[in-house]
Amino acid sequence: MKTYLLPSLKLTAVLIILCSVLYPLLIAGIAKTAPGQGKGVTLSLNGKVVGYENIGQKFTKDEYFWSRPSAVDYNAAGSGGSNKGPYAPDFLASVKARIDTFLVHNPGVTKEQIPVDLVTASGSGLDPDISIEGARIQVQRIARKRNKNEKDLFDLIDKTKEKPLLGFLGPEKVNVLKLNIALEGLPK
Partner 1 sequence: MNTELLGVVATFIITLAIGIPLGKYISKVFKGEKTILDFMAPLERFIFRICGIDPTKEMNWKQHVAALLSLNLLWFVYAFVMFLFQGSLFLNPDGNPSMSPHLSFNTAASFLVNCNLQDYSGETGVTYLTQLAVLMFLHFVSAATGIAALVVVFKAMREKVTDKLGNFFEIFVKSITRILLPISLVIALLLVFHGTPASFDGKDQLITMQGDTAHISRGPAAGMIAIKHLGTNGGGWFGANSAHPLENPDYFTNMVEVIAQVIIPVALIFALGHYLSRKRLAWVIFGVMTIGVLIFLYPALHAEIKGNPAIAQMGPSSSGGNMEGKEVRFGAPASAYWCILTTVISTGSVNSMHDSFMPVSGCMQLLGMMTNCFYGGNGVGILNYYIFLIIAVFISGLMVGRTPEFLGRKIEAKEMKIATIIALLHPLLILAFTALASFGLVRDPSLPWLNNPGYHGFSEMLYQYTSCSANNGSGFEGLGDNTPFWNITAGFVMLLGRFLPIIGPIAIAGILAQKKYIPESSGTLRTDTGTFGLMTYAVIMIVAALAFFPALTLGPLAEYFSRH
* Shortest Å, Cβ 22 to partner 1: 9
- Which is nearer to partner 1, 83 or 151 (by Cβ)? 83
Q: Any contact of residue 91 with partner 1 (CB under 8 A)?
A: yes
Spatial distance between the Cα atoms of 37 and 72, rounded to a whole number of angstroms: 28
Note whether 176 and 66 are within 8 A (CB): yes
Q: Any contact of residue 39 with partner 1 (CB under 8 A)?
A: yes
Q: Tell me, what amino acid is at 182?
A: A
Q: Any contact of residue 121 with partner 1 (CB under 8 A)?
A: yes
Q: Any contact of residue 160 with partner 1 (CB under 8 A)?
A: no
Beta bridge partners of 44: 49
Q: Any contact of residue 101 with partner 1 (CB under 8 A)?
A: no
Q: Any contact of residue 110 with partner 1 (CB under 8 A)?
A: yes
**Residues in binding contact with partner 1, number by CB under 8 A:** 107
Q: Any contact of residue 68 with partner 1 (CB under 8 A)?
A: yes
Note whether 52 and 42 are within 8 A (CB): yes
Q: Residues 122-151: x/- map of binding to partner 1 (CB under 8 A)?
A: xxxxxxxxxx-xx-----------------
Spatial distance between the Cα atoms of 23 and 19, rounded to a whole number of angstroms: 5
Q: How many CA atoms lie within 13 A of 60 on its CB side?
A: 7
